[in-house]
Amino acid sequence: AQSVAQPEDQVNVAEGNPLTVKCTYSVSGNPYLFWYVQYPNRGLQFLLKYITGDNLVKGSYGFEAEFNKSQTSFHLKKPSALVSDSALYFCAVIRTDKLIFGTGTRLQVFP
């Protein structure tokens, strides 16, 4: 069963505009949720995580994510996109003691 879904294969946004990359989850209980970014030919870089507490999580490079239990979502956001933010973004959830990843969303920021 799919534990985490990223409904958009690609998101396009103009530089300077706000960006949102969507993620929904389907695990029971209190989920541990993560966002990672992957640049071309590189590994995964940790951006942020939600464990418990404040629903708004702040992470690296100006990114933040909002945990919404009623909508089972954990969308990644940034107020002002940079061209250098263009990359592949993965949402992940911990299930059965391992990270389960979404299919990834390619973010393209146009100058």
27 near other proteins, judged by CB under 8 A: no
φ, ψ for residue 9 (rounded to 5)? -70, -35
The three-state secondary structure class of 55 is coil
Q: Per CB under 8 A, which region of 12-20, 62-70, 73-81, 88-96 contacts other proteins?
A: 88-96
CA atoms of 76 and 58, how far apart (whole Å): 10
43 near other proteins, judged by CB under 8 A: yes
99 near other proteins, judged by CB under 8 A: yes
- Whats the size of the chain, residue-wise? 111
Q: Per CB under 8 A, which region of 13-21, 46-54, 63-71, 74-82 contacts other proteins?
A: 46-54
